[in-house]
Structure formats: C-alpha cells, structure tokens
Amino acid sequence: MNNRMGTMRSISIFTIFYKSIYSVKEIAKYRFLGIGKTFQYVFFLAFLYFLPSLSTILFIDKHSTTIPGFDLDTSGLFIMVPIYMLFTYVLNVGVIVAKISIFAVVALLFAKWGKRKLPYRQSWRLTAFSFTFPTLLFGILSLLQINITADYIIDFAICLLYLFFGVRKIPKPKLKK
C-alpha cells in the first residue's frame, strides 16, 4: 500500500493527462492523489484550454481586434497584452475550478446511487481528472476555430459520462459480518 502511494505521488502530470483521456479506471485511482498534485493538474488543464487564446494573441496582425482601441504601433499594446493574457488565464482557472466544484457534488450523488464510499475531497479530485477529455476536445476545437452549437451541453455530458463510469470503477465497500 505504501509503495503504491509513493508511485502515485511520483506520477507525472503528462502521464496523468494521457491516461485520463481514455481510462476511467485510472481516473478512479487518481482520487487518492494529493490535493497539491491535483491543483497542479488543474492549472495544467487551464493552460491547455488557454492555448487557443494565447495563439490568437501571439499571432496578432495589424487588423486584429483582440484588444479594441489598440493597434500594433501603440506602445500600450505591449503592456496590455501581458495583462490580458494573465487575466484570461486566471479566468480560465476560475471557471474550471468552479465547474469541478459543482460537478463534484454530482459525483457524490453518483456514488450514493451506486452505493460507493466517496468523500467530497476524493470526489473533487476524481472530477478534476474527468474534465481532461472535454477540456482537450474543446481546446482543440477552439484552436481550429470550430464552433459547435450547444458546446456547453456536450462538454457537461462528456464530463458526466466520465464521472459516472469513474465512480462505477470505485469498489463497493465490503459488508461487515
């Protein structure tokens, strides 16, 4: 048991990311990771989701309206762009944390319905890793500038599926005789 926990602590963010895309069994295991590693992962997800906005800002052209009222010849642009980038990233982190916190309650309901033991702290962690695939999918779609009608509904539905199946991979408590 102690060896497994040591292995869980040393797992890389990239391994967690890769396995969280396709394996609900791994997502269920990641509920035991520390909160520090989980928040590190949330910031990583927010960065991935932020990349399309960053690419838009970095590849700005003379006709861009990313920041209204500024053009490339304005020295204020070099001040506003980093502030805009920081604000956008922080906003993305906030939105992802809020979504995770709300969906963690849904995971608790799934656990109760499936007769699984899942404290809120583990539910929050499980939910954070369940957001991997939808965050990646909609980040790529945004990067490719593909708009989908009802994208929030699809985002929520995918996360709910990952949550549902992730909670189902949690073993039921053994009954005492």
Q: Is residue 16 part of a domain?
A: yes
Q: Is residue 10 part of a domain?
A: yes
Q: Is residue 31 part of a domain?
A: yes
Domain that holds residue 76: 2-168
Tokens matching residue 136:
């990646």
Q: Provide the number of structural domains found in the chain.
A: 1
Q: Is residue 151 part of a domain?
A: yes
- Is this prediction's pTM over 0.85? no
Q: Is residue 176 part of a domain?
A: no
Q: How high is the mean pLDDT of the chain?
A: 85
Q: pLDDT tens digits for 26-83?
A: 999 999 999 999 999 999 999 988 887 777 766 655 445 555 555 555 666 677 778 8
Would you say 5 and 33 are in contact if contact means Cβ atoms under 8 Å apart? no
Question: Per-residue b/e over 137-158, b at no fewer than 16 CB within 10 Å?
Answer: bbbeebeeeeeeeeeeeebbeb
Which positions ≥6 away from 142 have C-beta within 8 Å? 49, 52, 53
Q: Is residue 158 part of a domain?
A: yes
Alpha carbon 19 to its chain's center: 14
Q: Is residue 117 part of a domain?
A: yes
Q: Which candidate, 134, 116, 93, 152, places its Cα nearest to that of 31?
A: 116
Q: Is residue 154 part of a domain?
A: yes
